[in-house]
Structure 1
Amino acid sequence: MNILLIILLSLAGLIALLFLLSLLMPKKHYVKREIIINEPVQKVFDYVRFLKNQEAFNTNAMADADRKKEFRGTDGTVGYVYAWSGNKDAGEGEKEIMSIVDGKSVEMEIRFVKPMKTSARILMELEPLADDQTKLWWSNAGELGYPINMLIPMMQKHVAKDMDKSLTNLKNILEAGTF
């Protein structure tokens, strides 16, 4: 009986420690990745501004091929919304184009319903390095409340890995001209 009590108290202490640590952890998350694509900036921009194109390169968009999709508005314009509902990997949510600066940037808001209710700002920024070379930055920023904020370090690592894979997919598609 004493061993069981010690185990239960230790477990309760560990859980309490995790909750206390998450009080001290940041609530904001931010991930930014970049890639150089050997194509002109306008060609890259004209591809990334359309949310439906993310089906071909974004690892998160590819998480569930059978997910239910809904589209509202005109793709590639401010106010366009791409919504989905899928398996546990894809979750449920929507992405909306918030602003576009032709040839320079596309800003979106992603709003998740499942696996947890949260939102983040996504920004894709482009810079021409040469006539046929573009640097693309992709950032994701948001906030998670207490106590979920204890997951931020793990989440940032996962998001960075997915963004790197997605950017490589995008580079391969654009440089191969397979779209």
Structure 2
Amino acid sequence: MFKKVVLALAVALVGLGAVVASRPSTYHIERSITVAAPVDLPFGLVNDFHKWKYWSPWDALDPKMKKTFDGPYAGPGAIYAWSGNKDAGKGQMTILESQPYESIRILLEFSEPWASTNTTTFTFQPVAEGIRVTWAMDGQNGFLGKAFSLFLDMDGMLGKDFDKGLATIKSLTEGEAKNRREREARLKAKAEEAAQAPAPAAAPQATTTTP
């Protein structure tokens, strides 16, 4: 009886291993949103790691998270490293490529809670309503990752965070775009008011007489 149980377990493990091995070796997550704002606003929020605290869905996971910045202040070569609690984990991001107002490619490396390397890409495409911002992530599934994929849907798990981050980018940039329009309107009104104002009367010239 015991041998039969052991044999059944062995067959089950082999079968499970075969199922895990058959899972996709890569994964792709992608979300998009349309922003009614000049492209420099959403691009700037992504291209500068110092500004990620304003919109990143993961930045608030640990209020005491340690952060360090290295390399250029923004753009290619900029590095952002973090170390936080079990929810935030530990890792770093490096901007590999930044095409102004078109795309940003980032190397995302996790060391905790497990090691993984992913590529994150942001693209900014002009559309009739404004700018279409797309956030995508591509990664590799090792055996452990394939096993997790049997129970966890990466797209469903991270996709909601992408949606949240993009929604915050939309809110921030559209708010700033509105502020810009209002500032420009006030400056234009002042310029027009100054142009229409009557010129100041010339001061009378002093005259001298010869005694």
Q: TM-score, normalised by structure 1?
A: 0.86
Identify the residue that residue 199 of structure 2 maps to in structure 1: none
Identify the residue that residue 100 of structure 1 maps to in structure 2: 98
Where in structure 2 are the equivalents of 1:26-175 lying within 5 Å?
A: 26-130=24-128, 133-152=130-149, 154-175=153-174
Q: TM-score, normalised by structure 2?
A: 0.74
The total of aligned residue pairs comes to 174
How far is the alpha carbon of 1:47 from its aligned partner? 2.2
- Deviates most, 15-24 or 155-164: 15-24
Task: Name the amino acid aligned to 1:108.
Answer: I
Unmatched 5+ stretches in structure 2: 178-211
Q: In 2, distance between residues paired with 1:60 and 1:10?
A: 44
SS at 1:177 equivalent: helix
Runs of 4+ more than 2 Å apart: 8-20, 150-153
How far is the alpha carbon of 1:25 from its aligned partner? 0.5
SS at 1:89 equivalent: coil
How far is the alpha carbon of 1:12 from its aligned partner? 6.6
Q: In 1, distance between residues paired with 2:72 and 2:43?
A: 16
Q: Which has the higher strand share?
A: 1
How far is the alpha carbon of 1:36 from its aligned partner? 0.3
- Deviates most, 91-100 or 121-130: 121-130
Q: Select the structure with the greater relative contact order (CA < 8 A; seq sep ≥ 6).
A: 1
Q: Alpha carbon RMSD of aligned pairs, Å? A: 2.3
Query: CA distance change for structure 1 residues 13 and 147 in 2, over 3 Å: closer, same or farther?
Result: farther
SS at 1:171 equivalent: helix
